[in-house]
Amino acid sequence: MPRSLPSKLNPIARRRVDMDQIRAKLLAPQDATKRPDSVSQAILEQYKLYVEMADRLSSRRGLTNTFFLTLNTAIASLGTILSESLKERPKAALYLLLIVLLTQTGAWFAILRSYQQLNSAKYRVIGALEEHLPASPYWKAEWAALGSGRDKRVYWPISQVEQIVPVLFALTYVGLMAIVW
């Protein structure tokens, strides 16, 4: 039975590849009951490697967030400290600064969105691999433990929380510029 995140929790759902298409491309056609142990072992090893790759992607995502959060915290702090001296700057320079700041927060938002899409795809492939293993800890069990995403008190996707932060910084920059003008 194919499983997918509800579109409410996954904004890329309409553009996703169907699980049947992923399954069709994942393994060479073969009857699972006639599969040699060496093939089952190879599937398990590929599964382990793929889960590790998904974890590394999440780590890179965390490092990206740390970089942008540090950068934006420093910029916002500096902007607050220098707000009086910024009032003396030409408005064109302030417009340019605001454009640069909004562009980099937009880039941060887009990068987070890309990581969300990559993670979504990776976990769909992990789910397809788990169909060929005796247990499905990530795809079925974890999702069930999280209430299938129906209640934000049980589970609120980190990708949604992450994407709020660049928006808040962008609003902060607009607010600071409004104070300076």
* Model confidence pLDDT, tens digit, residues 38-47: 888 888 999 9
**Dihedral class, residue 156 (left if φ above 0, else alpha if ψ from -120 to 50, else beta):** beta
CB 128, CB 22: distance < 8 Å: yes
pLDDT tens digit sequence for 99-124: 999 999 999 999 999 999 999 899 88
Averaged confidence pLDDT in the chain: 82
Exposure of 37 by Cβ count < 10 A (0-12 exposed, 13-18 middle, 19+ buried)?
A: exposed
DSSP 149: G
